[in-house]
Each structure stands twice: as structure tokens, then as C-alpha cells.
């Protein structure tokens, strides 16, 4: 409930986004780890507290300008008590079971009082922190500590302060109502997971029957230890375990997709297809088209020419309304002519391939604006060029 209230209250959310250690307790607003100076001219840390006025499910203008303090009598940088700040001392105001305020502060900025709790709390922090900075310039109350969330509150295990600090939380929510599948957790598929795991997408289903082996460590995100590699787990179990530390609802399927289990894709909203078998690709694509499921197919063609690598990476997008280009853009025959089909992959090209695929998916969700409506993109390594084709706007 506390995180929901913070998210619905602009002033509280701003305090949290600025890195303050915000807590709601028994009808009080707390900011922990506020630096101040004690009578020994040492920097210590206390808790700033305010009563909290609410209307329904959000805050309203504070009814008073008084704040409470959990800590010693605050002083200036020379050790003299801040009598102009402290209104009362030894008040023993019970805040929680183990939190008792001993002082109250009174600083009224204007006859109208404070407009909101962000203004009120930061005003008091500024006074206390300013004296502490004279002694320790690095002392700060902006700790940016991780905020743990429950499953009810978020798909993430802790708060996404990156989106909130950038002011794109509402845009990020456009990705939320999605159940996606990543088929193939090799180099490109694993980087797709790395990017998608950091979005609000509802569920991520992983499909791959291979083991996570030593060579995989050199073409996928992260840094598994030697001991990790000796455990011999499947790719989907390894990646699900790794990214479940950050977010929930990553569902591993330790199996290859074929005609016997392909109906498991029917409940997906979107599919990233990252397989190098032409036969498997064709089976899966035919099923996705029949069931009107949008997907992006990724591919890489790299070969060795005179001691250096040349080639390209590709993403091809198909939707229920735009898919006829697939026949000329996606190849289904298996060949050993390039390095990719020989199971040699390059991490930076895998990462680029994944980035292009995820960017296109985000465009389709409205996260990014999409002028071109391209459905086929190729990056050429030697020429360092990106070519876009199959534009829906031109049909």
C-alpha cells in the first residue's frame, strides 16, 4: 500500500525519485538517513518525520509546517544548537515501535505554509544537510537505495527508478499488457531477454532445449563464473534464474518448439524468433501466421574473408496485416556456408541484432514513434549501414 500511495502522490513520488529514503509508517512520512551536525561537531544521521494528510488515495496540502526529528539536537557546523529550527525538545513522540521523535522543528516559509510534502521535507533537509556539508561535503540524504516491491505492486522485484527519473513511466506502461515468447536463447535471443526483462511486459516465456555451456558464456550477456558453468543447466533455467533476481514472471520451457508443442505459442501476444534451423523456423512461422500472432525473426550471416569477418544482421517483422514480404526476406533452407550456421556467433553482432529487434517491437507498442513502418531491416558490417525495406506506409 505504501508504494501505491507514493506512486499516486506527485510530491511523495518526487521525493523517492530524487533518491530520498522515503517511508510511510502509521500515518507519518519519514525520510531516513538525513545528515546533520551534533554537539561534538560530527556529522551524524537522523530521521525527518512529518504527519501525513491524505484525501482518498493521495496526499493533500500539509495542514501544518511542523516536522519531527529522530536524532540528537541538531547543531550548526561549529557545534552550536540550531535554536531557530528546533521548536521543542524531549517531546517523546512515538512514530513506530522502535522510532521515537525527540524534537520538533518549526520553519514556516510563508503565511500559506508548504504547498506539498516535497517542499516541506526538502526545506528541512536543506537546513540540516547544509550544516553537515561544511564538515563533510559528500554527506547526503539522496541515497537512491533499491525499493523492494511485492508481486501485487509490480512485475519488478524492486522499483524501476530509471524510468521514473527519466519521466517515461507512463510510456513504459505501453509494454505492460504483453505476453511474449523468445524462441531460442542463443546469442541474439539471450540479449533480447536482457533488454525485454527491463520492461514492464507482463510475462516472458523462454523456449530452448539446449544446455548452457562454456561457449554460451562468451556470446550472451552477463558473466557466469567457472562454478556456474560446472552445474550444467539448461539455457532457459540459467537465464530465468539470472533475470528472476530482477523481475518476476519469466517462465522457462526446456524444450524445442515443434509440431508436438507448438500450440503453447497460441496464448502469446508477440514472439521473438531466434533459431538457426530453417525447418524449425518455417514450422513456427506458419503456425504464427495461421494464429495471427505478430513476430520478429532475426538472422545473421557472417563469413571469413581474408582474415576478417564480413556480413550482416537482419530483423524481419510480420503482423497479421503485413506478412507477404516474408517469402522473399526469410530463408528456410539450412546451409553451412556462413559462420552463424556453424555455431560461431559474435557477441556484439548478437547484441546489435537483439537491439534492432527490441526497438522495432517497442515501436509496434507505441513506446517509440515509427515514421517508416519498416518491416525488414539489415545492418551491413563492412559498410556500417542500416537498410530499411518493406515499409507499410508505401503499400
Instruction: Name the pLDDT band for 7 (thresholds 50, 70, 90).
Output: confident
The pLDDT value given to residue 341: 45
Residues 181 and 110 in one domain: no
Confidence (pLDDT) at 339: 41
**pLDDT score of 51 more than 80:** yes
What pLDDT score does 88 carry?
95
Please report which confidence band the pLDDT of residue 276 belongs to, taking 50, 70 and 90 as the band edges: confident
Quick one: 180 and 114 in the same domain? no
One domain, residues 124 and 191: no
How many other CB atoms are found less than 10 A from the CB of residue 119? Answer: 15
- % of the chain exceeding 90 in pLDDT: 78
Which carries the bigger pLDDT value, residue 170 or residue 298? Answer: 298
pLDDT in tens, 148-157: 777 877 899 9
Is pLDDT at 160 greater than 80 in this prediction? yes
- Contacts of 98-103 with C-beta under 8 Å, sequence gap 24+, read 99/25, 99/30, 99/47, 99/49, 99/70, 100/70, 101/47, 101/49, 101/68, 101/69, 101/70, 102/69, 102/70, 102/71, 102/72, 103/68, 103/69, 103/71, 103/73, 103/74
Q: How many domains in the chain?
A: 2
Residues 211 and 321 in one domain: yes
Q: Which pLDDT belongs to residue 338?
A: 43
Looking at residues 291-310, what average pLDDT do you find?
A: 93
Q: Which three cell numbers stand for residue 286?
A: 506458419
Write the pLDDT tens digit of every residue in 80-138: 999 999 999 999 999 998 899 999 999 988 888 999 999 999 999 999 999 999 999 99
pLDDT at 149: 78
pLDDT reported for residue 11: 95
- Indicate whether 145 belongs to any domain: no
User: Is residue 204 located within the same domain as residue 334?
Assistant: yes
Q: pLDDT (tens digit, 9 = 90+) per residue, 218-228?
A: 999 999 999 99
Q: Report yes or no: 254 and 209 within 8 Å, Cβ to Cβ.
A: yes
Residue 232 pLDDT greater than 80, yes or no: yes
In-domain check, residue 258: yes
Residue 194 domain-assigned (yes or no): yes
**Residue 190, domain extent:** 161-394
177 plus 104 within the same structural domain: no
CA-based nearest residue to 371, from 389, 395, 391: 391
Q: Per-residue pLDDT for 274 more than 80?
A: yes
Q: What is the 3-state secondary structure (H, E, C) of the chain?
A: CHHHHHHHCHHHHHHHHCCEEEEEECCEEEEEEEEEECCCCCEEEEEEEEECCEECCEECCCCCCEEEEECCCCECCCCCECCCCEEEEEEEEEEECCEEEEEEEECCCCCCCCCCHHHHHHHHHHHHHHHHHHHCCCCCCECCCCCECCCCCCCECECCHHHHHHCCHHHHHHHCCCEEEEECCCHHHHHHHHHHCCCCCCEEEEECCCECCHHHHHCCCCCCCHHHHHCCCEHHHHHHHHHCCCECCEEEECCCCCCCCHHHHCCCCEEEECCCCHHHHHHHHHHHHHCCCEEEEEEEEEEEECCEEEEEEEEEEEECCECCCHHHHCCCCCCCCCCCCCCCCCHHHHHHHHHHHHHHHHHHHCCCCCCCCCCEEEEECCCCEEEEECCHHHC
CA-based angle 363:367:373, to the nearest 5? 20
Averaged pLDDT for residues 185-204: 96
- The pLDDT assigned to 288 comes to 97
| pLDDT tier for residue 393 given thresholds of 50, 70 and 90 | confident
Domain check: are 128 and 165 in the same one? no
- Give me the mean pLDDT over the 71-81 stretch: 97
Tell me phi and psi for residue 247, to 5 degrees.
Answer: -145, 165
9 and 126 assigned to the same domain: yes
Q: Is position 143 within any domain? A: no
CA–CA separation, 389 vs 374, rounded Å? Answer: 6
Whether residue 152 is contained in a domain is answered as no
With respect to residue 76, please indicate whether it lies within any of the assigned structural domains. Answer: yes
Q: What is the pLDDT of residues 239-250, one digit of tens each?
A: 999 999 999 999
- 259: in domain: yes
* 11-25 per-position pLDDT tens digit: 998 999 899 999 999
Q: Is the pLDDT of residue 260 over 90?
A: yes
What confidence score (pLDDT) does residue 166 get?
82
Say whether pLDDT at 333 is over 80. no
pLDDT band of 37, cuts 50, 70, 90: very high
Q: Would the pLDDT of 336 be above 70?
A: no
Angle CA(297)–CA(301)–CA(307) in degrees, nearest 5?
160
Is the same domain home to 122 and 167? no
The better pLDDT of the pair 313, 335 is held by 313
Give the residue with greater pLDDT, 334 vs 337. Answer: 334
Instruction: Supply the angle between the helices 347-365 and 187-196 in degrees, to the nearest 10.
Output: 40
Q: What is the pLDDT of residue 335?
A: 57
| Residue 219: exposure state from Cβ atoms within 10 A (0-12, 13-18, ≥19) | buried
What value does the mean pLDDT of the chain take? 92
Q: What are phi and psi of 46, to 5 degrees?
A: -130, -170
> Taking 80 as the threshold, does the pLDDT of residue 395 lie above it?
no
- For residues 43 and 129, the answer to whether their CB atoms sit within 8 Å is no
Residue 156: inside a domain: no
Amino acid at each position: 500500500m505504501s508504494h501505491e500511495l507514493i506512486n499516486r502522490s506527485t510530491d511523495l513520488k518526487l521525493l523517492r525519485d530524487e533518491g530520498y529514503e522515503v517511508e510511510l509508517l502509521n500515518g507519518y512520512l519519514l525520510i531516513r538517513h538525513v545528515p546533520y551536525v551534533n554537539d561534538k561537531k560530527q556529522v551524524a544521521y537522523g530521521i525527518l518525520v512529518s504527519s501525513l494528510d491524505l484525501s482518498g488515495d493521495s496526499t493533500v496540502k500539509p495542514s501544518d509546517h511542523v516536522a519531527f526529528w529522530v536524532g540528537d539536537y541538531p547543531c550548526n557546523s561549529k557545534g552550536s544548537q540550531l535554536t531557530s529550527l528546533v521548536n521543542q525538545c524531549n517531546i517523546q513522540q512515538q512514530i513506530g515501535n522502535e522510532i521515537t521523535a525527540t524534537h520538533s522543528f518549526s520553519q514556516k516559509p510563508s503565511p500559506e505554509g508548504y504547498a506539498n510534502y516535497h517542499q516541506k521535507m526538502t526545506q528541512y533537509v536543506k537546513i540540516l544537510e547544509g550544516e553537515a556539508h561544511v564538515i563533510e561535503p559528500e554527506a547526503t540524504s539522496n541515497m537512491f537505495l533499491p525499493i523492494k516491491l511485492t508481486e501485487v505492486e509490480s512485475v519488478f522485484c524492486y522499483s524501476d527508478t530509471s524510468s521514473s527519473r527519466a519521466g517515461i513511466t507512463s510510456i513504459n506502461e505501453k509494454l505492460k499488457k504483453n505476453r511474449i515468447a523468445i524462441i531460442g536463447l542463443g546469442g541474439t535471443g539471450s540479449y533480447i531477454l536482457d533488454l525485454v526483462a527491463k520492461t514492464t511486459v507482463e510475462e516472458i516465456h523462454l523456449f530452448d532445449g539446449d544446455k548452457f555451456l562454456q561457449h554460451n558464456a562468451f556470446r550472451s550477456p552477463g558473466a557466469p563464473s567457472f562454478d556456474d558453468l560446472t552445474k550444467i543447466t539448461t539455457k532457459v533455467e540459467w537465464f530465468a534464474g539470472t533475470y528472476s533476481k530482477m523481475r518476476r514472471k519469466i517462465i522457462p520451457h526446456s524444450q524445442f518448439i515443434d509440431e508436438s508443442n507448438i500450440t503453447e505459442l497460441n496464448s502469446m501476444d508477440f514472439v521473438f524468433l531466434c533459431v538457426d534451423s530453417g525447418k524449425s523456423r518455417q514450422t513456427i512461422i506458419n503456425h504464427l501466421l495461421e494464429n495471427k500472432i505478430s513476430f520478429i525473426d532475426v538472422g545473421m550471416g557472417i563469413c571469413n574473408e581474408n582474415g576478417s569477418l564480413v556480413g550482416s544482421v537482419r530483423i524481419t517483422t510480420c503482423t497479421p496485416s503485413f506478412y507477404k514480404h516474408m517469402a522473399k526476406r526469410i530463408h528456410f533452407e539450412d546451409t553451412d556456408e556462413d559462420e552463424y550456421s556453424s555455431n560461431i556467433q559474435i557477441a556484439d553482432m548478437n547484441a546489435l541484432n537483439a537491439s534492432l529487434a527490441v526497438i522495432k517491437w517497442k515501436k509496434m507498442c507505441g513506446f517509440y514513434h515509427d515514421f517508416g513502418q519498416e518491416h525488414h531491416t539489415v545492418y551491413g558490417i563492412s559498410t556500417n549501414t542500416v537498410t530499411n525495406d518493406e515499409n507499410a506506409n508505401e503499400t
